[in-house]
Structure 1
Amino acid sequence: MRALAAAAIGLTAALALVLTVSAIGGPSGETSPEPLLTTVPEHP
């Protein structure tokens, strides 16, 4: 029974954290228009 109570408390805390972050909103910023390079460019 203690394990069930601990799981319920943990789930409630995780849900509260998710709701808090979603209410506050993500960090504001802009994405870069430049594409990310996945390979090292070759130098001639």
Structure 2
Amino acid sequence: MRAFVAAVIGLAAAFALVLTLSAVGSPPGETSPEPLLTTVPGSQR
């Protein structure tokens, strides 16, 4: 029973965090026009 209560409290806290972050919204600004490098340059085979 204690595990169930702890799980409910954890889920409620996570849900409240998601709602808070979605209410605040994303910070203002622009994305970079440069693509992100996902590999080390020059390591192509």
Q: TM-score range by the shorter chain?
A: 0.7 to 0.9
Gaps of 5+ in 1: none
Identity %: 71
Per the TM alignment, residue 27 of structure 1 is displaced from its structure 2 partner at its CA by: 1.6
Q: How many residues align?
A: 41
In 1, distance between residues paired with 2:2 and 2:20? 27
| TM-score, structure 1 as length reference | 0.74
| TM-score, structure 2 as length reference | 0.72
Q: Name which one, 1 or 2, has greater alpha-carbon Rg.
A: 1
Gaps of 5+ in 2: none
